[in-house]
Amino acid sequence: MLTVVESCRISPPPATVGNRSLPLTFFDNMFLLHFPINQLFFYEFPHSKPHFMQTIVPNLKQSLSITLQHFFPFTSNLIAFPSNHHSRKPEIRYVEGDSVRFTLAECDLDFKDLTGYHPRACHKFYQLVPSLGCAVKGSEFLSIPLFAVQVTLFENSGVSIGITNHHVLCDASTKYDFLKAWTSIARHGTDGLLLAGQSLPVFDRLVQYPESLDKMFVNQPGVETLNLEYQPPELIATELPALGYVSSFSIACAYVWSCIAKSRVEIEKLDSQDELERFVCLANFRSRMDPPLPPTYFGNCVGPCVAISKSTLLAGNKGFLIAVESLGNAISKTVKNSDGVLKEAELWFEMMFKLPAKIPAKIGVAGTPKVKIYDVDFGWGKPTKYETISIDCNGSISVNASRDSSEDLEIGLSLPAKQMDAFIDIFNKGLENSFS
């Protein structure tokens, strides 16, 4: 059971930001209709409620306020204009006094169960992440909240910090910069290290691209309503010696993709030889743009890599190899395009909006192992467990750097109970056969 203790709003310190707006690029516009991203960080915290309320909560609020001063879009709103205002593009807008919803709660669920690596019911986690709140419809535009925070105490056991954001706000790289800043300020009580480290976000819209790319995504119905030491397995090196792209990320994703396909075939008794599946992951384009963008460029700067294969092939004896080849080629085609990463950007619209109708079976990837998500330390140590809750609503998997090893990946997924049982059996047997 969850009990809300307090619901309040957190703003930047007064008169530190001023009224500001941030135009959206087509990288941002791609996610105008995307569902909110829900993430949960669990921390061991064997302390009482009074200690938590008197020491931890005030520091979290104060440090968040200071962080919002430097990352003002997190406390802003998405402004979307009616379809008859074609000349007005969506934007992120901050008005003095804008704030972030901050919820404080306590929960009596079993903390150890929630932070385990065994299958758990998804509904247990929903109450631990905040909602963004309702959009406000004005006479000239729609105002949509972009970010919210919920802190939940499991007395004498732990704490969870849940964050929800609209994907149009930023990608994983920018969000991690925000979290690093917040945790640094929480640990040290000042933004001195953030300022000294020259890691402040770059808000200048430096992306250069054809204007036609904006129109593809903005004019969609619904907008107004809204590892260096890694060595590939010998099997891969032997069977696919000419593959253009092999990494720990692509190998892990390919293996999970093939296992999910096998579990689907087993549970759903698929017999069609023509059913297709698509696997979608996002590549960070900051360093690949011409000219390159700074690492701290604020917003979205990612592009889709889409692999397509038949379900029956993925579920076959060579399903893993087929998945590796398909995914590797898709990533290589995107990030190693000799004509630049935006060469086929006009095809992204079809990939994201038209392809789903033709190929509904889809797996997406949330997160990236290049972001050290377990370094999000507010002063209580590393998170005990991290979860991407929003993968439950769209068939995605989460792929992140491991908590305790720089060479491992942590993968999360959400499946119906029967399919999850089948997946676990297929996944484990596949590993046993590979390393026996």
Strand 397-401 vs strand 362-366: parallel, antiparallel, or unpaired?
parallel
Specify whether 167 is catalytic: yes
214 vs 202: CA distance, rounded Å: 21
47 counts as catalytic: no
d(CA 48, CA 52): 6
Residues ≥6 apart with Cβ < 8 Å to 170: 73, 178, 298, 299, 300
CA 108 to chain centre: 27
Task: Give me the helix-helix angle, 417-435 and 248-268, nearest 10°.
Answer: 130
The answer to whether 297 and 175 are in contact (CB under 8 A) is no
Catalytic residue among 28, 70, 167, 392: 167
Sequence-separated (6 or more) residues with CB below 8 Å from residue 66: 12, 13, 185, 191
Which of 377, 408, 421, 425 is flagged as catalytic? Answer: 377
Question: What letters, b where the CB count within 10 A reaches 16 and e where it falls short, cover 158-196?
Answer: bbbbbbbbbbbbbbbbbbbbbbbbbbbbbeeeebeebee
* CA-derived radius of gyration, the chain: 22
* Distance linking the first and last C-alpha atoms of the chain: 45
Locate the DSSP E strands across 338-433. 362-366, 385-388, 397-401, 409-413
Q: What single letter denotes the amino acid at residue 196?
A: A
Kindly tell me the burial class for residue 97, based on how many C-beta atoms sit within 10 Å of its own C-beta (0-12, 13-18, 19 or more): exposed
Amino acid at 408: D
176 φ/ψ angles, rounded to the nearest 5 degrees: -65, -40
Residue 167 gets which letter from DSSP? T
Angle between helices 172-188 and 57-70 (to 10 degrees): 130
C-alpha–C-alpha distance, residues 123 and 2, integer Å = 12
Q: What positions carry a catalytic annotation?
A: 167, 377
